[in-house]
């Protein structure tokens, strides 16, 4: 993965199990969001590929990629709602684009999706009129609009208070269980990582590589990687690498 000649990360290889919550963790600037952008087709890897059900994403033609993109929903940082549209219009837009459902059906789905994230009644509000936490939840409702098989979250807890953040984590788990969706989350919030992750990878900005993969609780127990343990213990692990200042 690179931006021009600037290499962000190399030699990443990981499998995401269907129906699991997969967390991409690492320090600030380690390339977590960049990896996510590669996974959802916004950026093309310099070398290598992203595979969905064994099919190369970049090997597909444009139409097949479009069909594949329909199978996922993405929650960007702070929601990334379209500011000139109401919450209802934000959720309805992908439905209008990809389905031929009637206006009544669209209305019902919009109400349901907003109800699922606890925002029923806010259909006619614009993003600027609601709080940051509500914007994130509305972004999640939009991400779920097309009943995606995979939900991607880019730092969903950023800027949220601990309680709202915990509620969002619970919502993610509930949606995974009820929809059976696969969830990929980029975060460095330890509380979230330990609460939701079935599997995870740890990215290191210094070596620009993926240093570990596994359940974070298991990694904390069994890993001998000092840097990873320092990350998972907020620096309380007294390994040699942990003592070094983080340069990223």
Partner 1 sequence: MTGTASNVNLVVEQQSPGVLLIRLSGNYCDQIGPDVEVVWEALSRVPVVESLSFESSGLTGWDSRFVAFVFKCAELCRARNVELRHDGLPEGVRRLLRLAQAVPERKDVLRSAVKAPFLENMGKRALKGWAGTTAMFTFLGENVLALGKLLRGRAQFRWADAFLVMEQCGPQALGIVALINFLVGLILAFVGAVQLMKFGASIYVADLVAIATVREMGCIMTGIILCGRTGAAFAAQLGTMKVNEEINALQTFGISPIEFLVLPRMVALLLVMPFLCAFADFISIAGGFFVSVGMLDVTPTEYLTRTVSAIQLKSFLLGIGKGCFFGFLVAYTGCLRGMQSGSSAAAVGEATTRAVVTGITAIVASDGVFAVLTHVMGI
Interaction site with partner 1 (CB under 8 A): 83-84, 101, 105, 108-109, 111-113, 115-116, 118-122, 124-128, 147, 171, 174-175, 177-180
- Nearer Cβ to partner 1 (170/207): 170
Scanning the chain, the segments in alpha helix (DSSP H) are 32-39, 62-70, 87-98, 103-116, 132-143, 162-179, 190-196, 216-222, 226-232, 240-243
DSSP one-letter code for 245: P
In the complex, what is the shortest distance from the CB of residue 20 to partner 1, in angstroms, rounded to a whole number?
A: 16
In the complex, what is the shortest distance from the CB of residue 138 to partner 1, in angstroms, rounded to a whole number?
A: 13
In the complex, what is the shortest distance from the CB of residue 124 to partner 1, in angstroms, rounded to a whole number?
A: 4
d(CA 35, CA 206): 16
- Nearer Cβ to partner 1 (46/80): 80
- Nearer Cβ to partner 1 (42/115): 115
- Nearer Cβ to partner 1 (31/127): 127
Interacting residues of 20 by C-beta distance below 8 A, sequence separation 6+: 182, 183, 198, 199
In the complex, what is the shortest distance from the CB of residue 24 to partner 1, in angstroms, rounded to a whole number?
A: 25
In the complex, what is the shortest distance from the CB of residue 37 to partner 1, in angstroms, rounded to a whole number?
A: 20
Q: At what angle do helices 132-143 and 162-179 cross, to 10 degrees?
A: 10
33 contacts 186 by C-beta, under 8 angstroms: yes
Please count the CA atoms within 13 angstroms of the CA of 226 that sit on its side-chain side.
Answer: 8
- Nearer Cβ to partner 1 (91/205): 91
Helix (H, G, I), strand (E, B) or coil at 202: strand
């Amino acid at each position: 993965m690179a931006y021009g000649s600037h290499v962000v990360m190399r030699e990443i290889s990981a499998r995401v199990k269907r129906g699991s919550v997969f967390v991409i963790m690492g320090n600030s600037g380690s390339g977590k969001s960049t990896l996510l952008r590669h996974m959802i087709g916004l950026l093309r890897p310099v070398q290598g590929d992203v595979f969905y059900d064994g099919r190369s994403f970049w090997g597909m033609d444009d139409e097949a990629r479009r069909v594949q993109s329909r199978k996922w929903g993405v929650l960007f940082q702070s929601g990334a709602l379209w500011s000139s549209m109401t919450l209802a219009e934000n959720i309805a837009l992908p439905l209008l684009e990809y389905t031929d459902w009637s206006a009544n059906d669209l209305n019902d789905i919009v109400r349901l999706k907003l109800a699922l994230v606890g925002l029923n009644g806010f259909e006619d509000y614009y993003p600027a009129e609601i709080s940051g936490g509500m914007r994130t939840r509305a972004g999640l409702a939009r991400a779920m609009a097309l009943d995606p098989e995979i939900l991607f979250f880019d730092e969903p807890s950023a800027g949220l208070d601990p309680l709202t953040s915990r509620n969002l984590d619970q919502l993610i788990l509930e949606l995974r269980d009820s929809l059976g969706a696969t969830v990929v989350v980029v975060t460095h919030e330890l509380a979230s990582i330990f609460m939701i992750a079935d599997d995870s990878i740890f990215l290191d900005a210094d070596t620009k590589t993926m240093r570990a993969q596994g359940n974070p609780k298991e990694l904390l127990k069994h890993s001998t990687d000092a840097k990873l343990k320092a990350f998972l213990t907020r620096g309380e692990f007294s390994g040699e690498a942990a003592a070094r200042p983080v340069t990223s």
